[in-house]
């Protein structure tokens, strides 16, 4: 009962999409998920056809219901804490005592944002302090907007946001992180810079009202973009020998194969293009490629 053809670690959009491809090919597949997606605080998901404006939970609930109608798919709620190569493939252990074995393994585990130690930041994250203009930009268009980033990342965000609002201020602790050409470009596009450290994001139930600085001053804003670092949600792919890219993502090829045989990865853990649509796309490819490998091994 604990042996499968495929185990998918992570049951959000990428994992569920991979499972649907496998379920429709009658592959005995187990999804293991801890129920804590990175976008659980985000009020609405956007830029995904047929579901624009739905909550992340609504989309995942529909996906899970549709995936689990395939009899070859099993869902187990739990946190994967270990993965070990065995003769049959891989042995997976969960925090609630589950032990499962599969020939092939998929990591759809996502990433964890490393939020700065700024009061109020985490309460606003995904609501009024956001990371992506494509996911959130339309909803906060024409608002007085801060960009909390430095150097190249700040320039990149400013260029994308400039099409959505003309009220942009970059907040950085050090303007020397910008070169002369970048500063001229910001000036030409009427983008201001505040060279101060942030001490607090003042908000009302996650909705930004002011940003407070280390000199005690504060300035009113309605929204902010922030470039924050991330880390993988699990080190298990690395334990199994999967390489990471220079940016810290799991290295995969165009078929979502990692650098280790029979191990695949998809979703936010593999790409900087973090969106529901991209996660579903990557999962769909993953499931199809795995089925193709099974076919080639047995036919």
Cβ neighbors of 248 (< 8 A, separation 6 or more) are 230, 231, 232
pLDDT tens profile 48-86:
888 887 888 898 999 999 999 999 999 999 999 999 999
CA distance readout (Å), 174 to 155, 194, 198, 210, 214: 14, 9, 12, 21, 14
Phi-psi region of 206 (alpha: psi -120 to 50; beta: other; left: phi over 0): left
Cβ atoms of residues 224 and 121 within 8 Å: no
pLDDT at 205 over 90: yes
For position 38, what pLDDT does the model report?
A: 65
CB 101 within 8 A of CB 243: no
What sign does the CA torsion over 94, 97, 98, 103 have?
positive
Q: Cα-atom radius of gyration of the chain, to the nearest Å? A: 21
pLDDT tens profile 216-227: 999 999 999 999
* Beta bridge pairs of residue 172: 195
**Residues of the chain above pLDDT 90, percent:** 85
Average pLDDT, the chain: 94
pLDDT at 63: 93
Closest by Cα among 16, 25, 26 to 75:
16
Domains of the chain: 3-113+230-298 (3.50.50.60), 121-226 (3.50.50.60)
Question: Which pLDDT score, from 0 to 100, does residue 39 have?
Answer: 66
- For residue range 236-277, list pLDDT tens digits in order: 999 999 999 999 999 999 999 999 999 999 999 999 988 899
Residue 90's pLDDT is 97
């Amino acid at each position: 009962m604990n042996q499968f053809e495929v185990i998918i670690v992570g049951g959000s959009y990428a994992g569920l999409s991979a499972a649907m491809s496998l379920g429709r090919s009658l592959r005995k597949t187990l999804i293991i998920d801890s129920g804590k997606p990175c976008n659980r605080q985000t009020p609405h998901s956007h830029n995904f056809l047929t579901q624009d404006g739905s909550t992340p939970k609504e989309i995942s609930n529909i996906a899970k219901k549709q995936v689990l109608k395939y009899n070859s798919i099993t869902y187990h709620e739990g946190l994967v804490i270990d993965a070990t190569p065995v003769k049959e493939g891989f042995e997976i252990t969960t925090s609630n005592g589950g032990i499962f074995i599969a020939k092939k393994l998929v990591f759809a585990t996502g990433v964890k944002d490393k939020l700065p130690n700024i009061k109020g930041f985490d309460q606003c994250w995904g609501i009024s302090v956001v990371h992506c203009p494509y996911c959130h930009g339309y909803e906060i268009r024409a608002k007085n907007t801060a960009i909390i980033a430095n150097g190249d990342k700040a320039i990149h965000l400013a260029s994308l946001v400039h099409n959505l609002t003309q009220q942009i201020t970059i907040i950085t602790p050090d303007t020397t992180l910008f070169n002369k050409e970048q500063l001229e470009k910001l000036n030409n596009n009427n983008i201001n810079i505040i060279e101060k450290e942030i001490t607090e994001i003042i908000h009302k139930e996650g909705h930004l009202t002011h940003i407070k600085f280390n000199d005690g001053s504060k300035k009113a804003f309605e929204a902010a973009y922030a470039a924050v670092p991330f880390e993988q949600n699990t080190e298990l792919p690395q334990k199994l020998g999967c390489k990471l890219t220079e940016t810290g993502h799991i290295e995969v090829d165009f078929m979502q194969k990692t650098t280790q045989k029979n191990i695949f990865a998809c979703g936010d853990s593999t790409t900087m293009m973090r969106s529901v649509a991209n996660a579903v796309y990557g999962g769909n490819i993953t499931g199809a490629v795995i089925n193709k490998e099974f076919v080639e091994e047995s036919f």
